[in-house]
Amino acid sequence: MMMFIFPVHSPAGEIKIGVVNTEKVLRESMSAVEAQKKIEQEFQARDARIRELSAQMRALQQELEKNTGTVDEDERRLKERELAGLSRQYQRAQQQMREDLSLRQNEEYGLILERINQVIKELAEKQSYDLILQLQDSVYRSARIDITDQVIKVLNARESAARKQ
């Protein structure tokens, strides 16, 4: 998140603005890194199954190509149907895994975003920010107003403290 401080001539004084890059927080905080590892472990077996299906398809395809002239037409059609069935099974498994992976990532990142927003709110109150914006990709931001690293530091400290308990 980035923070901007603009002098404003008003009875209230200066307006203090900060900016947070939540994507960076979701990539670099301990919570996010651990969530990603947890998700990868959950999907490891399914990924291995998909790789196995892919290897079976390649082997069958190579067998079909290799035995083009030596196998009778009925056996060839049978192998082609088997290959088509494997291909459908592979595509279904891959699609289902993508959907389930996306759902799990959204669940985990939703929980982390709640903690991020809480930290941002606390930093805003402690450091007297009037406005904190969540920016993903900005063309320019001054390091002076960017509190992303502060947010990551607080999140990591809380994660470490929670582990010790």
* Domains of the chain and CATH, by start: 2-164 (3.30.910.20)
Q: Is the pLDDT of residue 161 over 70?
A: yes
Q: Which long-range contacts (CB under 8 A, 24 or more apart) does 79-86 make?
A: 83/57, 86/53, 86/56, 86/57, 86/60
Question: Looking at residue 69, what is its pLDDT?
Answer: 74
Question: Looking at residue 1, what is its pLDDT?
Answer: 44
Q: What average pLDDT does this structure show over 125-139?
A: 84
Residue 105: partners with Cβ closer than 8 Å, 6 or more residues away:
39
Does residue 165 or residue 21 have the better pLDDT? 21
Q: Is the pLDDT of residue 115 over 90?
A: yes
Q: What is the pLDDT of residues 67-112, one digit of tens each?
A: 877 878 888 899 899 999 999 999 999 999 999 999 999 999 999 9
Does residue 87 or residue 2 have the better pLDDT? 87
Mean pLDDT value across the chain: 87
What the block records as the tokens of 92 is 């279904």
Around 160, how many Cα atoms within 13 Å sit in the side-chain half-sphere?
A: 7
Question: Looking at residue 3, what is its pLDDT?
Answer: 45
Does residue 67 or residue 138 have the better pLDDT? 67
Question: Looking at residue 2, what is its pLDDT?
Answer: 46
